Amino acid sequence: MDIRVQPPSQLTADEIGAWSAFQRANSQLHSPYFSPEFTQAVAAVRDDVEVAVLRRAGSAVGFFPFQRTFWNNGRPVGGRLSDFQGLIAAQGTQYDPQLLVRDCGLSSLSFDHLLASQQSFRPFVWREDDSPYIDLTDGYDAYMSQRPNGRSLLSEYGQRSRKLAREVGPLRFEPHVTDPAVFSQCVEWKADQYRRTKLPNLFAFRWVLALFDKLFSVRSETFSTMMSVLYAGDRIVAINLSLRYCDVLHAWFPSYDRELAHYSPGTLLWFETMRAAQELGIRRIELGKGPEKFKRRFMSGATTVAEGTVDVRPLSAAIRNAWQKTRNWIQSSPLNIPARAPAQLIYRCRSWLEYH
């Protein structure tokens, strides 16, 4: 197999077509993060994005987009903005990740949301997590009727929505809003959340804001950005900033007015989105990896995603594996709580390096 690495801007129309065809044909790749449009959008605002084109007998058989760091380490396109990662190829394509990394001129390749179903990466996985999703294939009513907690969810929705409408204003759901002021409100709420949770504010990086400007302008047959809003009267109470691939909606940056938190406006917006899904042509909502309780309450199932590193340097790989074992031991020991402060500092430093 021959591998050629190039900037996304140098991909030919035939190569973009092959990329899209592989994605359409493999249901595991039905996510906006695997779309060529997402990689192209990130490449438009960053100069470190590259694509490895895998060829056999002169024909493209796979695509692997990545970002190259200062030290020739590979990262997913978009860094921590990417909720799904992996090779875009026909299902069952076999390859050697270490050869892939070497042929890309990388010393290592790290991932944290790689599809665990891509078995070639199995020897390099440290741990796995669930990425919950909502299956609306048969519609909202069928989804609710099949859930063990469906009746209690509907009761909660009815009580909270009536209370919010009565005390603040009539509810109105807008599936897609393009008003820049709404986006600014979402950014403000998310920045406040990052401050409270002591996580890096992703929107403080200029290229992230530039990426959203780019994404809002991209609307192809299969890929688009969707910003859904729930209003109570004229007041914005919740916003879901998402990406869409065909009939799959991937939640990206949900936010809500904390002054109205006792009404659960974020949850109400999810109800409205699910109710409108069939009319909007949405059959599945990806909620993303994370411990949030609402994901467990609404999920129909979960996609398994993996964290790990492919390192072609034996000594470096040994050190990484030793560190990972130590981290896992600390997280399951009484040292977990006192270790959180230095761990958060390391996380913030890594994020700063990654996003600059």
Residues 119 and 141 both lie in one domain: no
Are residues 151 and 49 located together in one domain of the fold? no
Given this model, what pLDDT does residue 93 score? 87
Do residue 114 and residue 141 come from a single domain? Answer: no
What's the pLDDT at 343? Answer: 41
**pLDDT value at residue 322:** 58
For position 238, which CATH number holds?
Answer: 3.40.630.30
35 lies in the same domain as 113: yes
Residue segments in the chain with a per-residue pLDDT below the cut of 50: 339-353, 355
C-alpha to C-alpha distances, 217 to 66, 141, 252, 340, nearest whole angstrom: 22, 34, 17, 40
Predicted local distance difference test score (pLDDT) of residue 356? 54
pLDDT of residue 90: 87
Whole-model pTM: value is 0.89
Q: Looking at residue 241, what is its pLDDT?
A: 98
At residue 341, the pLDDT reads 47
Say whether both 242 and 115 belong to one domain. Answer: no
Domain ranges, residue 224: 137-282
Do 336 and 258 lie in one domain? The reply is no
Please, which residues have CB within 8 angstroms of residue 133's CB and are 6 or more apart in sequence? 284, 285, 286, 287, 299, 300, 301, 302, 303
Q: What is the pLDDT of residue 35?
A: 98
